[in-house]
Amino acid sequence: MNTELIGLSIDQVFSHIKWIEWIKEKIGVEIPFPIIADDQGELAKKLGMISPYKGTNTVRAVFIVDPDGIIRAILYYPQETGRNITEILRLVKALQTADKYSVATPANWAVDQFEWKSGSLVGDNVIIPPASSLEEKKDREEKAKKGEIKCLDWWFCYKQL
């Protein structure tokens, strides 16, 4: 998906080494990405990863950063709740699609591609941003008449990519 994964933990380097070894030995999976040891917790604090309810325990977090270094999405998970990898993949794909085609994606967009059942109002189509002028509104209505796009109303249109 043209992405990079980086881990961050407030654990020390030796803990990371053991964790990587343990996963490879017990599960047969090799961790191919770098893990940052933030053993002073400075970055974790700045990123809101230190739980205010759990002392110095960290919450699990996913930060999706675009190629320009801008944080586009943040998902926080309590320590006792695992991450939803399917949703992370869906979110990355949705952001990449929105950027590439200047569209928005509806709830549950592309979930079928990641083994979820889509329950979205517009399926796996993409939402076209609202018209910003009367001319654009009329153009949209013409495209809908020709079947180039579908609209639930002039301001809520969508299309297949």
Reported as a pLDDT band with limits 50, 70 and 90, residue 59 is confident
Would you say 161 and 101 are in contact if contact means Cβ atoms under 8 Å apart? yes
Which CATH class name applies to 1-83?
alpha beta
Would you say 90 and 116 are in contact if contact means Cβ atoms under 8 Å apart? yes
Would you say 77 and 60 are in contact if contact means Cβ atoms under 8 Å apart? yes
Condensed to tens digits (0 to 9), the pLDDT of residues 120-148 reads 567 778 889 888 899 999 999 999 999 99
- The domain segmentation of the chain, as residue ranges, is 1-83, 84-161
Question: How far apart (Å, rounded) are the C-alpha atoms in residues 129 and 101?
Answer: 11
Reported as a pLDDT band with limits 50, 70 and 90, residue 116 is very low
Q: Which two tokens stand for residue 155?
A: 């301001």
Mean pLDDT to the nearest integer, 96-108: 91
Question: How far apart (Å, rounded) are the C-alpha atoms in residues 109 and 128?
Answer: 13
pTM score, whole prediction: 0.72
Mean pLDDT to the nearest integer, 88-105: 93
84-161 topology per CATH? Antioxidant, Horf6; Chain A, domain 2 (3.30.1020)
Question: How far apart (Å, rounded) are the C-alpha atoms in residues 21 and 15?
Answer: 10
